[in-house]
A and B are shown apart, each in its own frame.
Chain A
Amino acid sequence: MAKKTIKMKIETQAEMVSHFIVQEVATGKKFREDNVRNIEFDVEEGTKMASVVEVTGANGSKYKLKITGATKATYPTSEQQIDDNRDLILARITA
């Protein structure tokens, strides 16, 4: 199986802290990266994953989540504004 490189990124000009948690649907294996704006990982093509991105910051701070390199990724692609100092975004990814 070929490997795919998935990139997840928070685009913003604001001061905010984000965490990424990625979990394989089939095995339940997960990893997380804290206090980063972007992550990059290699995974076998076709692997299904779920990811939660936690974003904390001042209310109204604007940001956008961008996922590239996946065969399919379903997540909110529009610009978001932090509400109640923390947002949680779920992304479903097929590598």
Chain B
Amino acid sequence: MKTIKIFLLAMLVYNTAYALDLETIALSQTDQNLGETENSSISSISGNSLQLSAGADKGTASLKLGSSFFKNNMSLLLSVPLDKGGSDKDFNDSNELVKNTSAKLNFQFSLAGKNRDIDPVKWVPLVEYCESSPSEFGYEKLDDCNGKRLDDLIKDFKGNTRALSDITSQIDLALKEPIHLVGFTSTLAQKNFEYFTADTTTEKKTKYTGAGSLYYSYVKPSQLGITIEYEYQSSHKAGDTETRCPAGGSGFVTCKEARNSAPQSTIKRVSSVELRQPFNILSYPVAISPKVSYDNNDSLFEAKIPFLFFQDTKNNLTGGVRADWANDDHDWDFSVFVGSKFDVF
């Protein structure tokens, strides 16, 4: 963990040194795999091989290395918690880094399906046809064709040219081909605990939490998503908080607040299946994303059934009602929630 801290500090120094060159990018997409939502503003430094981000979101300040840094779809997220009041984090406050620093590595890849057989040359005539007859695509000029993705071209094509029908149907099939996604996520974090050892004497200990998960997702673009995941977690559970005051004496006494016992090690092995399915009710878009999970160690079975129907200003489904059930109390809990935008991916 020391290495991680040093690395994080080095990144922060780098960040500060190039502060004048920062380009602020507003990102609205959800970073589901890293558990982030709606980064309101992210500062980044882009270079030929290095890309850094620093953002404040959901009580943590983070630095993310991704895209350009790794050739494949791997990212490393280093984060520190924000103060409870949500104030800006001073990245150079090394004491704060010690409190609860974490590193999260995420990697995913997709298995090649039928799209492995794509012949790019065979699709060139579609763009060439667009350049010769842009009006058949609803475009004003030739250059409009070159700025479009193939998905746009086949959506915008209003002609009925037999020669192109083969191409458009091939592209349509390629766009709808199911996506098989495999990935893993691992997290390493440290947390400090302070607990009573006797009477009002306390002891401080740093404990490490590790988690790793493997997942497979089957995605039918914009129609359906199924994710099967296995997660192993090793963590430490703090005792209850207590306030103790020294016995005896007269006048004012100084009391102390700490946990009443040393942190207990806990292990979880959780298997889960999640379905993400959008559909319409009377032309109104809604979605469900039920998830069932089973913890082998505690024999705990949980079911979470969100039903989304709230939309944000961009018509993304972002909230609704949720029903939760677990076999420890056998009770259904219902709640209203607002979260990150729904997607089958």
B contact face: mostly helix, strand, loop, or mixed = mixed
> Please, how many residues of chain A have a CB less than 8 angstroms from a CB on the other chain?
51
Contact B121 A25 (CB under 8 A): yes
Distance in Å: Cβ of A85 to nearest Cβ of chain B: 4
B-side interface residues, number (CB < 8 Å) = 58
Complex: how many Å from CA A11 to CA B316? 24
When distances are taken between beta carbons in the complex, the residues of chain A under 8 Å from B171 are 88
A52 at the interface (CB under 8 A from B): yes
Cβ of A86 and Cβ of B221 under 8 Å apart?
yes
Q: Are B151 and A87 in contact (CB under 8 A)?
A: yes
* Nearest Cβ on chain B to A53's Cβ, whole angstroms: 9
B109 engages A35 (CB within 8 Å): yes
Chain A residues positioned under 8 Å from B53 (CB to CB): 13
B33 CB to closest chain A CB, in angstroms? 5
Q: Does B164 contact A (CB under 8 A)?
A: no
Q: Are A13 and B67 in contact (CB under 8 A)?
A: yes
Contact of A88 among B29, B42, B66, B174 (CB under 8 A): B174
Q: Is B119 an interface residue (CB 8 A)?
A: yes
Q: Would you call A84 and B175 a contact (CB within 8 A)?
A: yes
Given the complex, which residues of B lie within 8 Å of A10, measured CB to CB?
Answer: 67
Interface residues of B in 181-195 (CB under 8 A from A): 181
* B116 beta carbon closer than 8 Å to chain A: yes
Tell yes or no: A83 within 8 A of B by CB.
Answer: yes
Contact assessment for B51 and A88 in the assembled complex, using a CB-CB cutoff below 8 Å = no
Q: How far is the CB of A89 from chain B (nearest CB, A)?
A: 5
Is the C-beta of A70 less than 8 angstroms from some C-beta in chain B? no
Interface contact B119-A23, CB-CB below 8 Å? yes
| Chain A: minimal CB distance from B344 (Å) | 7
**Taking the nearest CB of chain A, how far is it from the CB of B225, in angstroms?**
9
Known: A16-B73, A59-B345. A76 touches B147 (CB 8 A): yes
Question: Which B residues form the contact surface with A (CB < 8 A)?
Answer: 25, 27-34, 42, 44, 46, 51, 53, 64, 66-68, 70-73, 75, 106, 108-110, 112, 115-116, 118-121, 123-124, 126-127, 146-151, 171, 174-175, 177, 179, 181, 219, 221-222, 316, 341, 343-345
